[in-house]
Amino acid sequence: MMGSKETEPRRYLVPIDTASTQQLFTDCLVIGTGIAGLRATIQAAQNCGVTLVCKGSLADSNTWNAQGGIASVLADDDSFADHIADTLATGCGICDREVVELVVKQGPCLIRQLTDWGTEFDMAGDQIDITVEGGHSHARIAHAQGDSTGRVIAEALMRKVKQKPNINVIENFFVIDIITDENECVGAIGCNRAGEFQVIWAASTILATGGAGRLYRETTNPEAATADGIAIAYRAGAVVRDMEFMQFHPTTLYIAGASRALITETLRGEGAMLLDSENNRFMTDYHKAAELAPRDVVSRAILDRMLKTGSTHVYLDIRHFDKKHFARRFPVISELCESFDIDVSKELIPVRPSAHYMIGGVKTDSEGATSIRNLYACGEVASTGLHGANRLGSNSLLEGLVFGKIAGKLASGHPKAGANHLKHRRIRCDIALSDRSRLDADDVRNSLRALMWRNVGITRKAQPLAEAQEIIDFWQRYVMDKVFDSAYGWECQNMLTVCLLMAQAAEKRVESRGVHYREDFPETDDKNFANHIELTRSLQA
Ligand code: SIN
């Protein structure tokens, strides 16, 4: 565990006096509307009232954008043992085996339940159609409307949420901090659509706030993915871990001026090849699985080819695909390419890697409980131990589904008395306001994202990691003491907090493992590092 007083954020980002703030009371508060938050909400609502909040609209999540699919054992020639073995092998020695077994074994049943709830997966005859991604020894990726899997699942879960009278959905509610009283979470303070502060008292709280891709200049993630949940939990004293493990996706559309967009790995699973700018297929030189090598291997190989050819990107070649089948099977990518006048039957798709999935996060046990009482975490914000040092493609929607259900069940199990017992609590925290008129949060955010891409990116080494910490520390000195009044500023503070944790953890892991590659220490060091790096806020700060 580490944490230093100088660089620690203060406990709350805004002054709080619960007695003079608008108040809501709920049995269970769920923060975030990706697959994990929605599934947790549905589960918790079987036992108690739920308030589900998200900072944008219900659809602003990584889940909504997930293309490839959801992994599970669905074929007769596949087995739990093989899915478990693939997950453990990809995780490079630090997966939690108990969690891997739990998630893999619940997969088929929870996917069947999704279909019962109206998710229409693509079918091959009367079976769910499955495809393959890197690291999977069998086809086991279920998909829906081709490359719209996340959206189709989320829509089905949202319909279910809307049918339940005991679920109160509040969109455009930015949770600034969870409120704790002696290591017990008693709810959260946030800012509603009208710009008013509100306290939501809750007998239990589930963080399902999603990922952190927006901490990097290049990312597949939507704007919402600013790592708020990790920062919120860290400020409250929760243990966070594996912060050095950011997974980069090898193939993001790279067109200068266009926003980056994911080009699903299932395209490579179905035969797309990677070519460098000199038209050479290169992955065969780097790994025996070629284009289906683990994502970290493909990402580094692409960087290497970009460097060797002096190019800003490489290409995906699908000219050999049947054009009509492609448009049917990958409608989102087909439309995307068309919108940039790329005729995929004749032309190559320019791609390069970008930040995709945050493996680390708020540490939970196998029931989704964090180190703070009555605070649970599930989905990308959580570190359950499923992924180890590298995530197997399409295991994350599965994890969100399984841990959403588990966390929802546990969190709704104890608030029999609802939040009534919290009615007489008062939490106060005074913070002196400091002048922020000269501060350009936009500039800080952009500079931070560029710094992370350069210094804490696909390959790392000691000096740039140390430099990143010094620079973030300097920016923190004049950003973290400010009190903002909008999500944009709070997000900036959250981003600074989490970026520093990532750089610190990456510096501490003096070896290469999974998605964490140290140029100065390219070998895996099982003797010293077959474990997790945990970080927790220094309580004096
Ligand atoms: C993809 O479709 O390539 C992304 C799937 C994932 O990251 O799990």
Judgement on whether residues 239 and 262 belong to the same structural domain of the protein = no
> Which atom of ligand 1 is found nearest the CA of 251?
3
Average pLDDT over residues 490-513: 98
Maximal CA-CA distance, the chain: 70
Residue 67 CA to ligand 1 center (angstroms) comes to 6
> Which residue in this structure is represented by tokens 């709080």?
16
> Which atom of ligand 1 is found nearest the CA of 247?
7
The answer to whether residue 167 is domain-embedded is yes
Identify the CATH number of the domain in which residue 392 sits: 3.50.50.60
Give the lowest-confidence range in 339-343, 415-419, 453-457, 536-540.
415-419
How sure is the predictor about 539, in pLDDT bands with cuts at 50, 70 and 90? low
Average pLDDT over residues 331-356: 95
pLDDT of 16 > 90? The answer is yes
The answer to whether residue 444 is domain-embedded is no
pLDDT of 418 > 80? The answer is no
Q: Give the per-residue pLDDT at 168.
A: 97
Ligand 1 pocket mutation, candidates 35, 67, 270, criterion most atoms within 8 A of CB: 67
Ligand 1 pocket mutation, candidates 86, 264, 333, criterion most atoms within 8 A of CB: 264
Give the chain's radius of gyration (CA, Å).
22
Judgement on whether residues 82 and 187 belong to the same structural domain of the protein = yes
CB 307 within 8 A of CB 462: no
State whether the beta carbon of 393 lies less than 6 angstroms from ligand 1.
yes
Domain end marker among 370, 388, 422: 422
State whether the beta carbon of 266 lies less than 6 angstroms from ligand 1.
yes
Ligand 1 pocket mutation, candidates 151, 221, 265, criterion most atoms within 8 A of CB: 265
Judgement on whether residues 81 and 191 belong to the same structural domain of the protein = yes
Q: Which of 237, 315, 325, 240 is nearest to 277 (CA)?
A: 315
Judgement on whether residues 298 and 342 belong to the same structural domain of the protein = yes
- Crossing angle of helices 441-455 and 462-479, in 10° steps, is 170
State whether the beta carbon of 264 lies less than 6 angstroms from ligand 1.
yes
Judgement on whether residues 408 and 373 belong to the same structural domain of the protein = yes
Q: Give the per-residue pLDDT at 264.
A: 92
State whether the beta carbon of 265 lies less than 6 angstroms from ligand 1.
yes
pLDDT of 2 > 80? The answer is no
pLDDT of 421 > 70? The answer is yes
Residue 330 CA to ligand 1 center (angstroms) comes to 13
Judgement on whether residues 281 and 344 belong to the same structural domain of the protein = yes
Sign of CA dihedral 88, 89, 91, 95: positive
Domain that includes residue 333, residue range = 246-356
> Which atom of ligand 1 is found nearest the CA of 357?
7
> Which atom of ligand 1 is found nearest the CA of 265?
3
> Which atom of ligand 1 is found nearest the CA of 68?
2
The answer to whether residue 472 is domain-embedded is no
The answer to whether residue 434 is domain-embedded is no
Give the lowest-confidence range in 123-127, 300-304, 308-312, 433-437.
433-437
What whole-number distance in Å separates Cα of residue 375 and Cα of residue 395?
24
What is the separation of C-alpha 100 from the centre of its chain, rounded to a whole number of angstroms?
18
* Selection from 330-339, 427-436, 490-499 with the highest mean pLDDT: 490-499
Amino acid at 33: T
CB 178 within 8 A of CB 236: yes
Domain end marker among 336, 356, 376: 356
Q: Give the per-residue pLDDT at 1.
A: 42
pLDDT of 343 > 50? The answer is yes
Q: Give the per-residue pLDDT at 460.
A: 98
Residue 204 CA to ligand 1 center (angstroms) comes to 31
258 or 359, which is more confident?
359
Q: Give the per-residue pLDDT at 434.
A: 83
The answer to whether residue 517 is domain-embedded is no
How sure is the predictor about 72, in pLDDT bands with cuts at 50, 70 and 90? very high
Strand pairing class (246-253; 349-358): antiparallel
Strand pairing class (184-191; 174-181): antiparallel
Q: Whose CA is nearest to atom 8 of ligand 1?
A: 394
Write the CA distances from 115 to 112, 120, 123, integer angstroms.
Answer: 5, 6, 11
100 or 134, which is more confident?
100
Q: What is the pLDDT of residues 404-414, one digit of tens each?
A: 999 999 999 86
How many domains in the chain?
2
Write the CA distances from 18 to 25, 417, 529, integer angstroms.
Answer: 12, 20, 44
Q: Which of 65, 64, 78 is nearest to 107 (CA)?
A: 78
Average pLDDT over residues 218-229: 96
How sure is the predictor about 256, in pLDDT bands with cuts at 50, 70 and 90? confident
The dihedral over CA atoms of 111, 117, 121, 124, expressed in degrees to the nearest 10, equals 90
Judgement on whether residues 137 and 120 belong to the same structural domain of the protein = yes
Residue 128 CA to ligand 1 center (angstroms) comes to 18
The answer to whether residue 105 is domain-embedded is yes
The answer to whether residue 8 is domain-embedded is no
Domain end marker among 384, 403, 422: 422
Identify the CATH number of the domain in which residue 264 sits: 3.90.700.10
Residue 339 CA to ligand 1 center (angstroms) comes to 22
Give the lowest-confidence range in 81-85, 230-234, 253-257, 269-273.
253-257
Judgement on whether residues 372 and 409 belong to the same structural domain of the protein = yes
CB 316 within 8 A of CB 270: no
> Which residue in this structure is represented by tokens 């912060």?
243
Judgement on whether residues 312 and 370 belong to the same structural domain of the protein = no
Judgement on whether residues 238 and 264 belong to the same structural domain of the protein = no
The answer to whether residue 467 is domain-embedded is no
Average pLDDT over residues 508-527: 98
Judgement on whether residues 148 and 257 belong to the same structural domain of the protein = no
Which residues are tagged catalytic?
295
How sure is the predictor about 3, in pLDDT bands with cuts at 50, 70 and 90? very low
Judgement on whether residues 144 and 199 belong to the same structural domain of the protein = yes
Ligand 1 pocket mutation, candidates 131, 252, 262, criterion most atoms within 8 A of CB: 262
Q: pTM of this prediction?
A: 0.95
Task: Write down how long the chain is.
Answer: 541
Q: Which of 220, 213, 174 is nearest to 449 (CA)?
A: 213
Average pLDDT over residues 409-426: 79
Residue 151 CA to ligand 1 center (angstroms) comes to 13
